[in-house]
Amino acid sequence: MNFRVEIKADGADLRGVSGEISGTLAERERQLRDLFRLAEAAALEHSMRLDQPEVPRPQCCGRPMNKKRLRSRQLLTPAGVVTWDRRVYQCPHCDRQLIPLDDLLGVPRGQLSPRLANLGMDFVQVESYEQAVEKLKRQHGVSVATRSLVNLAGQIGPATQAFLRDHQPQDWPSEPIDRLYVGCDGVMTCTNEVGEDGRLKWREVKVGCCFWYDASGHTHKR
């Protein structure tokens, strides 16, 4: 049986995607997922290309920057690859270039969309990078390089540590604690070290938490 999904934008026909749905139940589920992924990618790409908010002309070296050519941008999303163009601005004095629309829309500097990056980081919290890559492929039908997840974790990790350090209360108990509860867990992470077999080495990173009760029976954790 052939199914077709019609996509409209502001009441106007945009495009349609179609696909054959047949076979076993598992095959039909996969075919429907792929069909709706095509529709989602088409709608997202269309909105990024045609629904771009106006951006004030940026300043540099005390003067407005010049408009330059459009530059293509490509991101991998849970629905597949999405491509669109945006305007580049260049300083006439120092030749510095900016793309203010990226900052306005929250477009990341890497190759993964925010939603795909969040999915990947959710998986690597409890599994190895290779297992996370396999789960993204199996559950969402998208192929992500292991190195992309490693690089993403390397960017997020220091920022997360800095946030926790700045927001972690420092009111440690002044009185001795009768009973201290300690919990810890670990996750395998890839290092930059190369082993004798020419492959990157892995090591386990552990995170620990301490729990205790104060004299009033309130729970504290660090």
Per-residue exposure over 99-118, b if at least 16 CB sit within 10 Å of its own CB, e if not: bbbeeeeebeeebbbeebbe
Spatial separation of the C-alpha atoms in residues 212 and 182, rounded to whole Å: 9
Give the model's pLDDT for residue 95: 93
Is 6 buried (19+), middle (13-18) or exposed (0-12) by CB count in 10 A? exposed
pTM check: above 0.85 = no
The label of the residue with tokens 């076993």 reads 24
Q: What are phi and psi of 64, to 5 degrees?
A: -65, 145
Instruction: Give domain limits for the chain.
Output: 1-51, 54-107, 112-168, 169-221
Spatial separation of the C-alpha atoms in residues 202 and 184, rounded to whole Å: 19
In tens digits, what is the pLDDT along the chain, a chain of 222 residues?
Answer: 999 999 998 888 888 999 999 999 999 999 999 999 999 999 999 999 999 999 999 999 999 999 999 999 999 999 999 999 999 999 999 999 999 999 999 999 889 999 999 999 999 887 888 899 999 999 888 999 998 998 888 887 777 777 777 776 666 666 777 788 888 888 777 777 778 888 888 888 778 888 888 777 788 777
Give the model's pLDDT for residue 216: 76
